[in-house]
Amino acid sequence: MKVNIKTPQEIEKMRIAGRLASEVLDYITPFVKPGVSTNELNTLCHNYMVDVQKTIPAPLNYAPPGHTPFPKSICTSINKQICHGIPSEKKLKNGDIVNIDITVISDGYHGDTSRMFYVGEPSIQAKRLCELTYEAMWRGIDEIKAGKHLGDIGNAIQKLAEGVGYSVVKEFCGHGIGKNFHEEPQVVHYGRRRTGIQLEAGMIFTVEPMINAGKAAIRSLPDGWTTTTKDNSLSAQWEHTILVTEDGYEVLTLSAAAPAKPKYHF
């Protein structure tokens, strides 16, 4: 497995791309409310990226082997949808939770991040799942520094999620990122400590756990992209792009209104 170690010049371009991706989520936040369709959110984000930021929405027409081109500029995954939800005319309603996943291309480099949003007032169960998933992502991130292993990240996430009776989706993972949308390494959100490749300063990858309130089993929808929980339980996901440093990490997908690192409660 060849992992691309980024140069200082590449790291600076990734900082810019990451901040821009996060700023799209800052921009769209006030529009996420009951009665808005995910298509409307897609249009708003697309126009902001293209017209204001002068960035390219990476998901639009993205077609990895075996997939039809993704038809929209963002992913919107609602309630039981785990990931890769395609924006549509369906309107969000009070109590929904939705993940909005943004990837921009700026000066040839990708910035990738996602957040969970509450539509109106969420249920206690939904809020707990979203908060735990956010904490799980950060617990994984806190394991990152040169000399540690990928398994340390996955173990921290899995231990927290399964410790409260939730489950970790294993079919999808974080990934290296740079000039390419998806690079090595694959960053799974489960595993054993001190296993997997050793981290080196200059690696850049995403940490993006998908946590189900019920069982881990998934179902793929006929559109070829959307994945849901098999048992129709709620699912949540958060994502940051991370730079490995000698003494820790740098989160590249932070912006003025990005949610703060949580105090650990679980």
Domain harbouring 224, CATH code: 3.90.230.10
4-37 tens-digit pLDDT: 999 999 999 999 999 999 999 999 999 999 999 9
Please tell me the total count of domains within the chain: 1
Q: Is residue 228 part of a domain?
A: yes
Rounded to the nearest integer, the mean pLDDT of the chain is: 98
**Within a domain: residue 36?**
yes
CB atoms within 10 A of CB 163: 11
Does residue 171 fall inside a structural domain? yes
| pLDDT value at 68 more than 90 | yes
Region 114-123: mean pLDDT is 98
What are the residues whose beta carbons fall under 8 Å from the beta carbon of 248, sequence distance 6 or more? 144, 145
pLDDT over 80 (residue 161): yes
| E strand or H helix that includes residue 43 | helix 38-47
Q: Where are the beta strands (DSSP E) in the chain?
A: 56-57, 75-78, 81-83, 97-106, 109-118, 167-168, 174-176, 183-187, 204-207, 210-212, 218-220, 227-229, 235-237, 240-245, 248-251
pLDDT of residue 193: 98
- Nearest residue to 20 (alpha-carbon basis) of 108, 98, 117, 112: 112
Give percent above pLDDT 90 in the chain: 98
Amino acid at 46: H
* Assigned domain for 264 exists: no
228-245: per-residue pLDDT in tens? 999 999 999 999 999 999
pLDDT band at 153 (very low <50, low <70, confident <90, very high): very high
The pLDDT score that the predictor gives to residue 1 is 74
Residue 259 lies in a domain: no
Q: Which residue do the tokens 């398994």 mark?
A: 151
Mean pLDDT score, 101-109: 98
Tell whether 78 is covered by a domain: yes
